[in-house]
Amino acid sequence: MSVLLRNVKPYGEDPTDVLVVGDAIAQIGAALPADGADTVIEGNGAVLLPGLVDLHTHLREPGREDAETVESGSLAAALGGYTAVFAMPNTDPAADTAGVVEQIWRLGHESGLVDVQPIGAVTVARAGVQLAELGAMSDSAAQVRVFSDDGSCVSDPVLMRRALEYVKAFGGVIAQHAEEPRLTEGAQMNEGAVSARLGLAGWPAAAEEAIIARDALLTGHVGSRLHVCHVSTAGSVEILRWAKGKGWNVTAEVTPHHLLLTDDLAEGYDPVFKVNPPLRTAADVDALRAGLADGTIDCVATDHAPHAMEDKETEWGAASPGMLGLQTALSVVIETMVRPGLLDWHGVADRMSVAPARIGALAGHGREIAVGEPANLVLVDPDARWTVSAGELASKSRNTPFAGRSLPGRVIATLLRGRPTVLDGARVPVGAGTAGVGT
Amino acid sequence: MSRHLLSAADLDRDAAVEVLDTAELLDRSLTGREIKKLPTLRGRTVVNLFYEDSTRTRTSFELAAKRLSADVVNFSAKGSSVSKGESLKDTALTLEAMGADAVVIRHSYSGAATRLATWVRGSVINAGDGTHEHPTQALLDAFTMRRRLRGGEGDLTGLRVAIVGDVLHSRVARSNVLLLTTLGAEVTLVAPPTLVPVGVEQWPATVCYHLDQVLPDADVVMMLRVQHERMSASYFPSAREYARRYGLDQRRMNMLRPHSIVMHPGPMNRGMEIAAEVADHPKRSTIVEQVTNGVSVRMAVLYLLLGGSDE
């Protein structure tokens, strides 16, 4: 099988043609002959990037298949330009054993739209009491390297220390949901002027920053690897900058919604804007953008969090926190980072593909666009604008905070190991037996 | 007045004065009547949708609606809408289908009234949502102040009001800060720093941590209810210490100027935020009056939202 990508701009640079044969890039050069290629994709000068990698996705399977499945989430990912997603373990049951992570990994393989790499829970049932069998998950077919209790913080400092130490044996990383639980009891939104006015219990920035500082210190002390999920405050960026300056192995992600949206959106009490950590202030947004631009924040991760309608069409306080993100992430990054000149296309490739693949130790993804490399690619028209409509997204849920917004950037094609999963912005039916196993 | 009353911020100065004037008018037209009823809202349906127990507020709204000849339905839905029974949205659609012209909602979640207003065609009146607002309480408080200190006319320009207590969790405080400043009053919030919200700097009010400092200048002292549970969450060390530092007792009452009044939205914790002899003071305390005025003000709100132009 071969695919010719004609007139595309790798990393937004000079236009060229890219020939993919089998699962790898075979040739790059001007005016490659089209004859013999099974599929020809006309790029018309669109930007070619390595396939995007999401370190933070909630696929809801097993347990809440009404909100999302591995299949529907994978499709949303492919349509958003992703070739790999890391699935968070807060399923029901939690992904805290080799059996559950293998199940999720297998479901991902069967849908074949993106590589689904399970994240294992740090503690049994994500309860924060006892370490889960991290080694067994690491040794399983899913080869888990990232562990997280996301949705809950590993708040016990001793348990966190042990987890950081333990995963050193197999090159693992602890992805921390940084939220001091006592400081955020009942918290509903960012604590500040807006929460004071709306009478919603505040989620202070210090509750995130205190945990990041603590965990950075522990990471330095035991010589392990820490990844900080969904960084949301200016203070967190400062602490990360300090920790990195110490030479400690600390990485961090920011979500697209924290790069664009602010806490005043809570004004109408519409829970589509309720998320954890909460939307912050414009000053935080600026600091997060700057941190992502200078590399203090290593990558963009969606925290794609589908929720059934009945969990969002409620009072703010009763609603589940979380937002859809897979199909809008690249567009939001173009809007917030590329257009203002904070990140060039090499930067986008790094923050949305290379860095997350490296942090998650995912082979075959986040690779350079070069001859001989795996053909995990996304082709995007950065100038095409589209208006987000919740009903038209591939997710089984509707909770996008961007509904009605016009955003730049349309995914034209996504290739997973040489096979188009998305063409002309639409799903390509999976031919039997064409999907290879990634890892 | 717009279609709903969700926040005291929905009222500009003229709209607020109109409510107070209307309340005076309705009050006077009922005074001395043998049958305390006006035919204004005959055939209209007002639903009291109370997710929290509040005999006081519910009864006040019920009386107000009945005195205007509206049909009143009490829909008590105790407990969280999610944990028990149907969702707020489904309840809203049910009330809508039954033809409710106005829904008076009391709910433990901030913003519940705002959400409800997106699902029903009728008017929504916020009768207290979580720790957000309670606009009719602020209106009856303003009405009481205006009667006592401004001859029942105009606005409250220059009036100095101290609101004392658990500002952080108080919907009464939020609505009063907005409404009283709209009417020209100067508001000072008095509380221990733990019970003042982060972000209060943006409110149109000043903050003082010492009650004794504000009393000599205050025309009105409004005491807020302080729940004993706050103590176990370390907002203050003990009920005794709270009462010593922020309670209004006889000694502090004597610091007030002769004309100054003492208010409380009820229910009171006697001996905690207010001493019995202050609460019962025949000249200064307006606490019973506030209850009476509450009915008049709620009549005015219902009248302005439902009556008027549609008739």
Q: pLDDT (tens digit, 9 = 90+) per residue, A410-420?
A: 999 999 999 99
pLDDT in tens, A293-339: 999 999 999 999 999 999 999 999 999 999 999 999 999 999 999 99
Kindly report, residue by residue over A202-261, the tens digit of the pLDDT.
999 999 999 999 999 999 999 999 999 999 999 999 999 999 999 999 999 999 999 999
Q: Is A415 a domain residue? A: no
Residue A230, domain member (yes or no): yes
- Hey, is the C-beta of B160 within 8 angstroms of any chain A C-beta? no
Burial (CB count <10 Å: 0-12, 13-18, 19+), residue B65:
buried
**CATH number assigned to the domain with residue range B135-286, chosen from the 4 options 3.40.50.970, 3.40.630.30, 3.40.50.1370, 3.90.226.10:** 3.40.50.1370
Verify whether the Cβ–Cβ distance A315 to B88 is below 8 Å: yes
Interface of A with B in 283-302 (CB under 8 A): none
By Cβ distance, the residue of A198, A204, A310 closest to B110 is A198
Distance separating alpha carbons of residues B102 and B124, to the nearest angstrom: 6
A315 vs B171: CB contact, 8 Å cut-off? no
From A193, A198, A310, residue closest to B132, measured CB to CB: A198
Instruction: Please determine, for residue A36, whether its predicted confidence score (pLDDT) is greater than 90.
Output: no
- What's the pLDDT score for residue A431? 60
Owning domain of residue A308: 51-359
For residue A101, give the CATH number of its domain.
3.20.20.140
pLDDT of res. A35: 84
Q: Which of A198, A269, A318 minimises the CB distance to B80?
A: A318
Q: What is the count of structural domains for chain A?
A: 1
Share of chain A above pLDDT 90, in %: 97
Q: CB–CB of A314 and B82 under 8 A?
A: yes
B171 is catalytic: no
B143 touches chain A (CB under 8 A): no
The whole-number pLDDT of residue B227 equals 82
Instruction: Tell me the chain B residues in contact with residue A264 when contact means C-beta distances shorter than 8 Å.
Output: none
What's residue A323's pLDDT? 98
Q: Is B111 on the interface with A (CB under 8 A)?
A: yes
- pLDDT, tens only, A310-320: 999 999 999 99
Identical fold for domains B8-133+291-310 and B135-286, yes or no, is yes
Banded pLDDT at A71 (limits 50, 70, 90) = very high
The proportion of chain A whose per-residue pLDDT surpasses 70, expressed as a percent, equals 98
**Cβ neighbour number for residue A140 with a 10 Å cutoff:** 19
The model's confidence at residue A374, banded by pLDDT at 50, 70 and 90, is very high
pLDDT digits (tens, 9 = 90+) for A259-269: 999 999 999 99
Is B87's CB within 8 Å of A310's CB? yes
Contact A314 B87 (CB under 8 A): yes
Over residues A373-383, the mean pLDDT reads 98
Identify the pLDDT of residue A266: 98
DSSP for A351-402, please give it: IIIIHHHHHTT-TTSS--SSTTSB--EEEEEEEEEEE--GGGSSSS----TT
Tens-digit pLDDT profile for residues B123-169? 999 999 999 999 999 999 999 999 999 999 999 999 999 999 999 99
Q: CB count, 10 Å around CB of A327?
A: 26
Cα distance from A315 to chain B (closest Cα, Å)? Answer: 5
Write the pLDDT tens digit of every residue in A230-245.
999 999 999 999 999 9
Domain assignment present for residue A5? The answer is: no
* pLDDT tier for residue A149 given thresholds of 50, 70 and 90: very high
B134 is catalytic: yes
ipTM: 0.93
Residue B78 pLDDT: 66
Q: Is residue A406 part of a domain?
A: no
Alpha-carbon torsion (B208, B209, B215, B219), positive or negative: positive
Considering only the beta carbons, identify the residue of B80, B82, B200 that sits closest to A196.
B200
CB contacts of A195 in chain B (<8 Å) are 197-199
- The per-residue pLDDT for A435 is 40
How confident is chain B (311 residues) per 10-residue block, as mean pLDDT?
94 98 95 88 95 92 97 77 72 91 96 97 96 98 98 97 97 98 98 97 97 98 89 89 96 97 95 96 96 97 80 39
- Asked if residues B38 and B67 have their Cβ atoms less than 8 Å apart, the reply is yes
> Which strands form A115-118's sheet, in the order they lie side by side?
A52-57, A82-87, A115-118
Interface test with B, best of A185, A194, A315, A320 (most B CBs within 10 A): A315
- A437 pLDDT tier (thresholds 50, 70, 90): very low
Residue A84 located in a structural domain: yes
Q: Where are the domains of chain B?
A: 8-133+291-310, 135-286
On whether any CB of chain A is under 8 Å from the CB of B73, the answer is no
Instruction: Decide if domain B8-133+291-310 falls under CATH 1.20.210.10.
Output: no
Predicted confidence (pLDDT) at residue A434 exceeds the cutoff of 60: no
Residue A163 lies in a domain: yes
Distance of CA A387 to the CA centre of its chain: 22
State how far the Cα of A295 lies from the Cα of A342, in Å rounded to an integer. Answer: 11
